[in-house]
Structure 1
């Protein structure tokens, strides 16, 4: 240590004092557009003003118009553009030439805690903290004023007589608009916007100052405040520290190292951290991330030895039972006062829509996204998110529930299953009021309990093909007898043994089959084939009546899709349908209270043959049937009509036709596109 001291000896000791007189008023001005050798000390300062809160300063300095470097013609032109030819007290340049310039400040840094101004005198260093460091740059606001003058002159030339304009303005109507409630996100965006910051800056008034030059007596008086007024070390406690305190400031003690948590995806949970939470929070966190889970899997994720009764009590607070599996509640995923990240729909509306999707899965294994959207009327992105939570898309079967039915849990906990069933009945009653539907509108399962074994679509198809092959062999011997159809067939064309099936394109029934079931060799109903055929015919007739009472107008393609959905929702082995051809479907429709509407499609129509076969509900026993038949008659003359044509024809045929009746008629049977009305299914939405 001694040798080190000899190599670096102390030359001089200087006392340091902290001056506080100007601590909140001292600014450092920098002029970055001018070299340091060219100061503004000798330039006349005409005016000065400051906004203390914003630390904004403006200085007006005179320009030497007698300098050989000054262009007098350019200065006069600038003054003319800014102020015009008329003399006014508000003119920027009273001398009719640019004889001054304005410097405006910007902050060089927002944190000046490390900067100070120091003055050395008589072996003492006096330090004063800086309030701000400002860079002074030329301001060109006079150019904005010149542009405004130019626009005013152009408006005066084009506007005509101002008195006439004022008279016209006096008779204008006043429109009153009420502002919408501002959301928190919109408020934050507004507060951070440039326009808001400019407005806030303009609200603070200017404080006008008087400038004193470097050699002025007042400046010399103010410079004395840069020195510490009290040189007593006992009073200047800010710089008086004990050696121990000073050493602690130079080398602060080591703080405990914070454990940095690894950054991972938001949906990845640490099981060790999860098990430190209360049981209710563990269940809620797991269900919120997984969305749908069997009870056995939930018990496996919790710590060993967890009481299943306590878990059941917790799971019922955050989830609902669907097909024996637990699905997280909607209000857990969409808390109150939140909105959809896709569309901005409020959480309350999202919860109703998702509850409807979950309720549908309590009735059937698969649902159609198009039908869900038509009822809950939410954006497609939100509906897709609902379905992705609990189901997966299947070819020709819509969206199928993710997990097989957990019949073991239902059998083991009948009290919980019954309680959940009653809860769903309450939810159903609320949904019926909100979405205006009844449970009978949907196809319930024929079995009170779902099948315990989940079969894939390929397994169903294979089993159906095997049954159809065996049935075809038994029917081949009496093929002629099977062609004996109902005596009520309407316009049935003769069919030969080699006649191919109607294989028109359909989104849900390939090659004229239903749900992948091959068609029978017989194209009509067989009323002589015993109880099986009669049961199939009766079941199909019932389905036709129920479907058309709900949809009123259907193309053959759309009807096959609905029948396909019906078959897909039925448990394996409980369907009475053996094989159904397109001719059988048409006969079943025409035997019911429905008729085919001969819509004259245009020659260039791209609709498939199945989409050009349109059927409508003809007879329901109501007086409104006459209105529906008249509408069908209009569509036999043109494939599209206008509303006023429908209204005129109804007024001619019936008296006192209300707008509500017209709306009901068009809403039941038609869709609107580009101001024209089409029968349902005859135009692609």
Structure 2
């Protein structure tokens, strides 16, 4: 060692100083696609901006369009593709030629603790830590803008008018999804996803900078901060580390890589892991995943030797007894301050609706989803979720409770059964107040309660079909009788007599012939079904509630044309958004009452001739439009309805020609655009009434 030290003597000692003036502001820019001999020092920098938190920089530099290496025709073509032929302040290239380019940065490394910029002066080395190392490359976002312009031109040529594209965008369905409560593992995956990073980058605002060239006076002033400002020895501490410690600081030993075992999904828990939890947590976890379970199965899943009394005490905290089986409580599945992943309905309304389904299963084994949805007024996706938790569907019969009645548990634990019955009585009283019903409504007359479980959905379906056939026959007979009484050559105007609903309040099934007969009996003219009857002629002898009519009027102010199916969906969402205890008058609204409210709100039914192969449901084929608003477009709107009464789709040119023939050429293009936007939607160059688009 001694000889080695003699062979490598110390030639010079240099004092090293740490400069901190620019420690949090100093960045190293690299241009990996630019040769080192071709710098940007003499290029005119037009603008510069930075996002400090993300360490993202954008530089805009001028291009020398007078250079012999510059292709002017290509530059003009690119500017034309990006900005088009019109001049706007937002144009990318104001000179109609590509005269600038943008450089965007990416981080070369996220850890710059080992990197610094150093300057040597008079035997002293001054180092400044780097805040970031950024690589700048040309940005080609102008090509994206050119592609967007090209798509706009193609869409305009295909549809014939830009307003068509706007109308088509207006009728596109928007799916709203709400996130479930996520686990820590799911949150980490989301945070590391590309979509999340892009959104975080967009949230931070740009900070605009002033660029100073290399030989600018301000640049020379800033370079002085690369030297340590405090040269007084009292302010600088000497390095007192040993050579070994100093070497370890410069090159720390490599840390051993931890073996990361793949983890399963967040909702999967092995039985071994489950049994490490407290008993109450074990039962809660099992019930949340299984939803409905017999007590014997629950005991089989738990560890041997656990007292059944303790299990009974815990299960009653998270589940309710239904037909001798345990069903998880609604507030366990839908905690407070959460919402439906399908529709966004608050957890309070979801718990109330699911409790009603559970309570109904305490009375009978079969349920019809349509009957449940008509009472709890929640979106179909949520109602289906409730039923799937505890029942299975049967073809033409409805939903049957998933498990057979566990009479053994009821006989073995009468005290628990009695306590659960008392609990259900309390839940029933709350549900009766909220949904405005009586328990006797769900028990067939002259039938003992225990026999109500044998009333199947198939029987109810047959009864509804029979009522529909009777209604259709009576309508046809009335129409024929009125035609016989009418003098030859006269128009038949028949006033529709109100038909009574079925005993259980179900609406008869709609058929095309019955709908046409109903339109004729209701005084329909030129393919429209009008509101000829006053409110007192409602089926039950009462007018629709004022709250219902107010909702219908407000809804048709937003959309001039709606199908019955879409209006029912909006009405159910409206009910779901009402606070508890409000809107009790709207809880028992039938389809007929809703249609009466439409016809009493200056609206009429438009009999659109759907194609024979159409798969639209009956409610989707009932189209209603605003008839009288008091504005100047009422007569044009009625003519538009007349066009669609003979064809379910019309070309824009046909609409414009017919409007010009009837009302002259004084109708401005903006009025035509407004009329089509209010009432129609477009697809592949054709115009449809809203809600009738055949995709």
Q: TM-score, normalised by structure 1?
A: 0.53
For 1:304 and 1:273, locate their aligned partners in 2 and report how far apart those are by CA, in whole Å: 16
Contact 1:369 1:383 in 2 (8 A): yes
What does residue 285 of structure 2 align with? 285
**Cα shift at 1:135:** 4.7
**Cα shift at 1:246:** 4.0
**Cα shift at 1:44:** 6.7
Contact 1:212 1:218 in 2 (8 A): no
Give the alignment of 1:307-318 within 5 angstroms.
307-318=307-318
For 1:219 and 1:652, locate their aligned partners in 2 and report how far apart those are by CA, in whole Å: 84
Please state if 1:555 is matched with 2:554: no
Matched residue SS, 1:272: helix
Contact 2:472 2:514 in 1 (8 A): no
* 1:201 alignment partner, one of 205, 216, 233: 205
Matched residue SS, 1:29: strand
Give the alignment of 1:522-533 within 5 angstroms.
none
Contact 2:292 2:328 in 1 (8 A): yes
Query: CA separation of 1:447/1:307 partners in 2, compared to 1, >3 Å: closer, same or farther?
Result: farther
Give the alignment of 1:401-440 within 5 angstroms.
401-440=401-440
Give the alignment of 1:134-533 within 5 angstroms.
134-135=134-135, 200-202=204-206, 204=207, 206-213=208-215, 222-223=222-223, 225-228=225-228, 241-243=241-243, 245-246=245-246, 249=249, 250-251=251-252, 263-394=263-394, 397-443=397-443, 508=458
Please state if 1:667 is matched with 2:667: no
What does residue 475 of structure 1 align with? none
Q: Any stretches of 5+ residues in structure 2 without a counterpart?
A: 84-89, 148-175, 181-190, 478-496, 503-509, 525-529, 545-588, 599-604, 609-616, 620-695
Please state if 1:640 is matched with 2:515: yes
What does residue 586 of structure 1 align with? none
What does residue 692 of structure 2 align with? none
**Cα shift at 1:416:** 1.8
For 1:669 and 1:34, locate their aligned partners in 2 and report how far apart those are by CA, in whole Å: 70
What does residue 532 of structure 1 align with? none
Give the alignment of 1:21-40 within 5 angstroms.
21-32=21-32, 34-40=34-40
Contact 2:177 2:342 in 1 (8 A): no
Query: CA separation of 1:50/1:400 partners in 2, compared to 1, >3 Å: closer, same or farther?
Result: closer
For 2:500 and 2:17, locate their aligned partners in 1 and report how far apart those are by CA, in whole Å: 104
Per-residue displacement from partner, 1:84-105 (whole Å, max 9, x unpaired)? Answer: xxxxxx99999x9999857655
For 1:507 and 1:139, locate their aligned partners in 2 and report how far apart those are by CA, in whole Å: 64
**Cα shift at 1:287:** 1.0
For 1:644 and 1:208, locate their aligned partners in 2 and report how far apart those are by CA, in whole Å: 73
For 2:449 and 2:63, locate their aligned partners in 1 and report how far apart those are by CA, in whole Å: 96
Query: CA separation of 1:425/1:600 partners in 2, compared to 1, >3 Å: closer, same or farther?
Result: same
Contact 1:396 1:508 in 2 (8 A): yes
**Cα shift at 1:340:** 2.4
**Cα shift at 1:331:** 1.3
Please state if 1:111 is matched with 2:113: no
Per-residue displacement from partner, 1:246-291 (whole Å, max 9, x unpaired)? Answer: 4654455978x97856522444323333333333222211111111
Query: CA separation of 1:595/1:397 partners in 2, compared to 1, >3 Å: closer, same or farther?
Result: closer
Per-residue displacement from partner, 1:477-527 (whole Å, max 9, x unpaired)? Answer: xxxxxxxxxxxxxxxxxxxxxxxxxxxxx9958xxxxxxxxxxxxxxxxxx
For 1:56 and 1:133, locate their aligned partners in 2 and report how far apart those are by CA, in whole Å: 11
Per-residue displacement from partner, 1:613-638 (whole Å, max 9, x unpaired)? Answer: xxxxxxxxxx988999xxxxxx9xx7
Per-residue displacement from partner, 1:591-634 (whole Å, max 9, x unpaired)? Answer: xxx99945659xxxxxxxxxxxxxxxxxxxxx988999xxxxxx
CA RMSD of aligned residues (A): 6.3
What does residue 130 of structure 2 align with? 130
What does residue 571 of structure 2 align with? none
**Cα shift at 1:245:** 4.1
Q: Which moved more, 1:409-418 or 1:48-57?
A: 48-57
Query: CA separation of 1:283/1:131 partners in 2, compared to 1, >3 Å: closer, same or farther?
Result: same
Q: RCO (CA 8 Å, sep 6+): is it higher in 1 or 2?
A: 2
Contact 2:322 2:358 in 1 (8 A): yes
The alignment of Structure 1 onto Structure 2 pairs a total of residues equal to: 481
Give the alignment of 1:599-610 within 5 angstroms.
600=476
Contact 2:65 2:72 in 1 (8 A): no
For 1:436 and 1:44, locate their aligned partners in 2 and report how far apart those are by CA, in whole Å: 78
For 1:293 and 1:655, locate their aligned partners in 2 and report how far apart those are by CA, in whole Å: 51
What does residue 533 of structure 1 align with? none
Query: CA separation of 1:404/1:72 partners in 2, compared to 1, >3 Å: closer, same or farther?
Result: closer
**Cα shift at 1:328:** 0.2
Q: Any stretches of 5+ residues in structure 1 without a counterpart?
A: 84-89, 148-180, 458-505, 510-546, 560-593, 602-622, 629-634, 677-682
For 1:134 and 1:625, locate their aligned partners in 2 and report how far apart those are by CA, in whole Å: 77
Contact 2:334 2:351 in 1 (8 A): yes
Contact 1:627 1:665 in 2 (8 A): no
**Cα shift at 1:33:** 5.1
Greater Cα radius of gyration, structure 1 or 2: 1
Contact 1:18 1:239 in 2 (8 A): no
Give the alignment of 1:38-77 within 5 angstroms.
38-41=38-41, 43=42, 45=44, 50-51=49-50, 53=52, 56=57, 58=59, 63=64
What does residue 476 of structure 1 align with? none
Per-residue displacement from partner, 1:523-569 (whole Å, max 9, x unpaired)? Answer: xxxxxxxxxxxxxxxxxxxxxxxx89xx996417x89xxxxxxxxxx
For 1:224 and 1:324, locate their aligned partners in 2 and report how far apart those are by CA, in whole Å: 84
Query: CA separation of 1:137/1:233 partners in 2, compared to 1, >3 Å: closer, same or farther?
Result: same
Q: Which moved more, 1:217-226 or 1:664-673?
A: 664-673
Query: CA separation of 1:659/1:12 partners in 2, compared to 1, >3 Å: closer, same or farther?
Result: farther
Q: Which moved more, 1:259-268 or 1:111-120?
A: 259-268
**Cα shift at 1:21:** 3.4
Q: TM-score, normalised by structure 2?
A: 0.52
